[in-house]
Amino acid sequence: MTKCEKKVIEELSDLLSRYQMNVIEMDKSTEIPGSYWGESEAGLIGKILYIRNDTPLHSALHEACHYICMDQQRREKLHTDAAGDYNEENGVCYLQILLSDFIAQSSKDKLMKEMDEWGYSFRLGSAKKWFEQDADDAKNWLIKNQIIDKDNQVLWQLRQ
């Protein structure tokens, strides 16, 4: 599993700065603030993504994508639980897969495999099958909210 080690953290910070997000690395012995799942999973408070060097990349991307995909009103009050509905959650999963290609140590295929290993569940049995065969609703949600375009190109803007 790709962990948020030094080079990954640098690339993740650069990537998320496009969304006005800040990445804060915590010491490995420290509890991660704003972590919904606890342990090494990423935390989210406002526009700050908290991670450690043992945080899985899929966790960091997932929480960051919640920030990107939620509306401004929820973003202003964000602390730990990103909430959101079914369509937004699917959009988050789709977007995290797209953003994984912007991290040199990752890729769509690698991230989808890691999502399966962690326990994400999709109707077709794997993240890859879902992304390639069953995610039109997620893609359309992201297009409608001007987060990606019809060619899966990231638009680098937050949902309004």
Q: Is the pLDDT reported for residue 121 higher than 80?
A: no
CA 151 – CA 63 distance, rounded (Å): 24
pTM score of the predicted model: 0.94
Does pLDDT of 50 surpass 80?
yes
Question: Residue 125: pLDDT band by 50, 70, 90 thresholds?
Answer: confident
pLDDT band at 120 (very low <50, low <70, confident <90, very high): confident
Distance CA 15, CA 147 (A): 14
Structure tokens at 103: 């991290």
Q: Tell me what pLDDT residue 79 has.
A: 97
**Residue 38 — pLDDT band, cuts 50, 70, 90?**
confident
| pLDDT over threshold 80, residue 76 | yes
Beta bridge partners of 43: 35, 50
What confidence score (pLDDT) does residue 133 get? 95
